[in-house]
Amino acid sequence: MSPSLGLLLFSDYDVAELVSLAQQSEGLGYQYFWYTDVRFARECYIALAAVALGTKTIRIGTGVTDPYSRHPAITAAAIATLDELSGGRAVLGIGIGGAGFKELGIEKTLPIAAMREAVEMINALIAGEKVTTQGKVFAVDGGKLSFQPVRSKIPVYFATHGAQMTRLAGQIADGVLIANVLQPSAFDFYTGKLDEGIAKAGRDAATVDVGLRVEACINDDDAAAFTVMRKRVASRILSQYPHWDYLAELNVTLPDEFAALAQERSPEAAAKAAALLPREAVEAMVLVGSPERVAEQLARALTPRVTQITLRPHAAPGQKIGDVIAAFANEVVPRALSLVSAEAGEAT
Rg (CA), the chain: 20
pLDDT score recorded for residue 259? 85
Residue pair 126/149 in contact (Cβ under 8 Å)? The answer is yes
Do the strands 139-143 and 131-134 form a parallel or antiparallel pair, or are they unpaired? antiparallel
User: Does pLDDT of 251 surpass 90?
Assistant: no
Tell me the average pLDDT across 323-345: 95
Tell me the average pLDDT across 288-314: 97
Q: How far apart are CA 80 and CA 149, in angstroms?
A: 6
Tell me the average pLDDT across 165-192: 94
The residue type of 5 is: L
pTM over the 0.85 mark: yes
Q: How far apart are CA 57 and CA 209, in angstroms?
A: 19
Q: Whole-number mean pLDDT of the chain? A: 94
HEC string for the chain: CCCEEEEEECCCCCHHHHHHHHHHHHHHCCCEEEECCCCCCCCHHHHHHHHHHHCCCCEEEECCECCCCCCHHHHHHHHHHHHHHHCCCEEEEECCCCCCHHHHCCCCCCHHHHHHHHHHHHHHHHCCCCEEEECCCCEEEEECCCCCCCCCCCCEEEEECCHHHHHHHHHHCCEEEEECCCCHHHHHHHHHHHHHHHHHHCCCHHHCEEEEEEEEEECCCHHHHHHHHHHHHHHHHHHHCCCCHHHHHCCCCCCHHHHHHHHHCCCCHHHHHHCCCCHHHHHCCCEEECHHHHHHHHHHHCCCCCCEEEEEECCCCCCCHHHHHHHHHHHHHHHHHHHHHHHHHHHC
pLDDT in tens, 89-107: 999 999 998 778 889 999 9
Residue pair 194/170 in contact (Cβ under 8 Å)? The answer is yes
Region at 42 (left for phi over 0; alpha for psi -120 to 50; beta for the rest): beta
Tell me the average pLDDT across 207-226: 97
**Number of C-beta neighbours around residue 70 at 10 A:** 18
The residue type of 137 is: V
pLDDT in tens, 190-212: 999 999 999 999 999 999 999 99
Residue 225, class by beta-carbon neighbours within 10 Å (0-12 exposed, 13-18 middle, 19+ buried)? buried
